Amino acid sequence: MAMKFLKINPLLEKYLPNVFVLYFLILMMWSWAEGDYFFAFLNKPGLDIWSCLVLFSLLGVNKRYWHWVILGLAGVGYLLYAINVEKILILKLPLTILDIKIFLKNPQGLFNALGFDSSIYIASITLLTILMSYFLYILITSRLKTTVIYLLRGFFQLSLFFICMALFTIPFNIYGKHLTALYVSRPFNIFFTSKDQSPKMDILSQLAYLNSIFSLSQNQKSKNNKNSQMIPDKNIDEINSQYMVPMRKLSSLKPNIVFILAESTFDPNKVFHLNRADTSVLFQAKNNAQRVNLLNVTPIGGGTDISEFETNTGIDTRYFPFFGYYVSQFLAPNLKFSFAKYLGQKGYSSEAFCPTDGAFVNSRASYEAFGFQNFLDVNQLNLTKYWSIFSDEKMIDAVLPYMDKAKPPFFDYIVFLENHSPHRCVHFADHTQYKNSFKAHAIDADNCSLNEYLRREAGTTRAYNKVLKHLQDISRQTNRPFVLVIFGDHQPSTFVLPQYDQYRTELSKKYTFTKIVSNLPFPLQLGDKASFHATLLPTIVSAYLTNSPSDLYMPENLYLWSQCNDTADLTKCAIFNSMGVVYQKYLTNAGLVYTQHT
């Protein structure tokens, strides 16, 4: 009975593919008649539906099972569509094949990132297990000969389907080289409208198109940007020496260095108009705080791995097109040098502590590429895998014993997670329990989300205080100084949504914060400039170790900052193009394949 599901339907097999091709040609003619570009017909409605019908034909589904297949494919299609819309809204980046691969490799990570409750993940896995078990039961209890015949037939038909899908992408590969100008500078408006940010292209076409772009660019030969020119080292040293404190006495013991990436943490006093000031110590110049600055970051609403990459390498991912959004897949594997390797040359041991599974977005492989000698993920730290109940304090309680065992001087990179979106209103009975609110007349749900952020921010602050106290204790016991850097990776997706724009100040959504604390004198004279980009952090910290401008880590970043006059978007600064030549020192030729900045 169950084997009839794969029974060939001759009528479908004979006529439906021809109908699909005819419909395809009509769409192309429609686009040309309207004067659109070659692939504009892919924007026309209905292509997803017809793609599903072709799938029915190729798999030979019996009519009696059509409604189940339609519901299943419609469900998958709608899920992809919904995720695509949400991703475009928050990240201004469409869904790609890489996102699907990341999900298949670590599905729990995506459930967590989307803010689903742990019970939803458990229920989904349970349902999938039941369905798969039932299917296997049917196969096992069927007659062996029948099972083998239908399995072979099903394998052949699935193979035919994937061959057809591959053929479907051939036009993109043929014409993709003529569309280079559409994507080299991340013009995401080809995928969604600028007005309401709704998708222009149906999801199947979008996935095929983006996959062809990735394939084309990977096959291109690396070539230097024609506008890229090497900045003479002498010029860099002359400028950078003006920012270094003269005649500074270096510590006889190299300082222990700790970076803390605080997930989705920003200074709400700078971002929103509030009724009361947020008094978190994170944003105050207390306890040896040497800099409390706005930090310009690349991602908005999500993309922690981008900030991880930039603060570990000093390489600005905005120099790259789409590949800058998938650093763990494209850039990290091709690193030649990084901040951890720079410190390793100076005798540092290094450890990285990750609150997620090491397989999620290729984290473990990325940190190994960064040059860390040891990497511990949520499994090795024995912490919860469910982000909605994650505690930064518990994270630090698990990390500090490793810090005690580390060979000095050490460099630790710690990733917090507690303030990850969404910020649902689940911890407050009513508005009387709120600690703060937006100045503008706000709906209760928005104020509640704000207070949920502040509640978690308090947990992050307590965790930060534990690290600071521990470093101070180690310093008192060993006379070894320390440098502690905490920063936000991006503003949370909750608050970058349009509904919160009415409460915002004029500050860009690309700003978070950074705080540098040390019992050593601050090594640079940065003046009153209010901000810098995240890529400058490794360079600043390296100044604690040297008096020589040429011995800084990636000194070109300090030079770039000085010459661009604190420009919010360094990519608009004329000398930004010169960074391509700089990155040749840090990336292999394979990594530079993805360099398409113009």
Each residue of 481-540: pLDDT tens digit? 999 999 999 999 999 988 999 999 999 999 999 999 999 999 999 887 668 899 999 999
What would the two tokens of residue 231 be?
Answer: 């900045």
What would the two tokens of residue 338 be?
Answer: 């990084």
Supply the pLDDT for residue 178. Answer: 40
Least confident of 215-224, 348-357, 457-466: 215-224
How many C-beta atoms lie closer than 10 Å to residue 474's C-beta?
19
Q: Rounded mean pLDDT of 442-461?
A: 96
Instruction: Say whether pLDDT at 421 is over 80.
Output: yes
Instruction: Say whether pLDDT at 569 is over 80.
Output: no
Task: Give CA–CA dist 460/456, Å, rounded.
Answer: 6
Name the range with the highest mean pLDDT among 131-145, 215-229, 263-277: 263-277
Q: Rounded mean pLDDT of 335-358?
A: 96
Looking at residue 532, the DSSP 8-state letter turns out to be E
Supply the pLDDT for residue 176. Answer: 43
**Percent of the chain scoring above 70 in pLDDT:** 64
Instruction: Say whether pLDDT at 458 is over 70.
Output: yes
Supply the pLDDT for residue 570. Answer: 72
Q: Rounded mean pLDDT of 391-407?
A: 97
For the chain, give the mean pLDDT: 78
Question: Which has more pLDDT, 53 or 384?
Answer: 384
SS3 257: strand
Q: Rounded mean pLDDT of 176-187?
A: 41
Q: In what order do the strands lie in the sheet with 511-518?
A: 374-376, 349-353, 410-415, 256-262, 482-488, 511-518, 289-296, 531-533
Q: Which residue has the tokens 């039961």?
A: 137
Q: Which residues contact 219 (CB under 8 A, 6 or more apart)?
A: none
How far CA 36 is from CA of 31, 42, 56, 169, 362, in Å, comes to 5, 11, 31, 20, 40
pLDDT tens, 280-308?
A: 999 998 778 999 999 999 999 989 999 99
Task: Give CA–CA dist 409/578, Å, rounded.
Answer: 34
Task: Give CA–CA dist 366/328, Å, rounded.
Answer: 6
**Percent of the chain scoring above 90 in pLDDT:** 43
Cis check: omega of the bond before 409, within 30 degrees of 0 = yes
* 323 alpha-carbon distance from chain centroid: 11
Confidence of residue 44 (pLDDT cuts 50, 70, 90): very low
Dump strand ranges (E) for 408-510: 410-415, 482-488
Q: Rounded mean pLDDT of 310-331?
A: 87
Looking at residue 213, the DSSP 8-state letter turns out to be H
Supply the pLDDT for residue 479. Answer: 96
What would the two tokens of residue 569 be?
Answer: 């978007």
Contact 520, 255 (CB under 8 A): yes
What is the separation, in whole angstroms, between the first and last Cα of the chain? 60
Task: Give CA–CA dist 472/481, Å, rounded.
Answer: 8
Q: Which residues contact 309 (CB under 8 A, 6 or more apart)?
A: 315, 317, 327, 328, 331, 332, 366
595 Rama sector, left if φ>0, alpha if ψ -120 to 50, beta otherwise: beta
Q: Which residues contact 514 (CB under 8 A, 6 or more apart)?
A: 291, 292, 293, 294, 295, 485, 486, 487, 488, 534, 537
Instruction: Say whether pLDDT at 8 is over 70.
Output: no
Supply the pLDDT for residue 517. Answer: 97
Instruction: Say whether pLDDT at 231 is over 70.
Output: no
Instruction: Say whether pLDDT at 318 is over 80.
Output: yes
Contact 308, 261 (CB under 8 A): yes
Instruction: Say whether pLDDT at 580 is over 60.
Output: yes
Does the global pTM surpass 0.85? Answer: no
Instruction: Say whether pLDDT at 413 is over 70.
Output: yes
CA nearest to 210, candidates 235, 240, 186: 186
Cis check: omega of the bond before 422, within 30 degrees of 0 = yes
Supply the pLDDT for residue 154. Answer: 60
Amino acid at 86: E
Confidence of residue 125 (pLDDT cuts 50, 70, 90): confident
Q: State whether the Cα torsion 435-437-442-446 is positive or negative.
A: negative
Least confident of 179-188, 271-280, 307-316, 332-341: 179-188
Instruction: Say whether pLDDT at 477 is over 90.
Output: yes
Give me the half-sphere count of Cα atoms (radius 13 Å) on the Cβ side of residue 369. 22
SS3 566: coil
Task: Give CA–CA dist 80/87, Å, rounded.
Answer: 10
Instruction: Say whether pLDDT at 379 is over 70.
Output: yes
SS3 242: coil
Supply the pLDDT for residue 62. Answer: 54
Instruction: Say whether pLDDT at 403 is over 90.
Output: yes
Instruction: Say whether pLDDT at 266 is over 60.
Output: yes
Instruction: Say whether pLDDT at 445 is over 60.
Output: yes
Give me the half-sphere count of Cα atoms (radius 13 Å) on the Cβ side of residue 16. 18
Q: Rounded mean pLDDT of 142-150?
A: 57
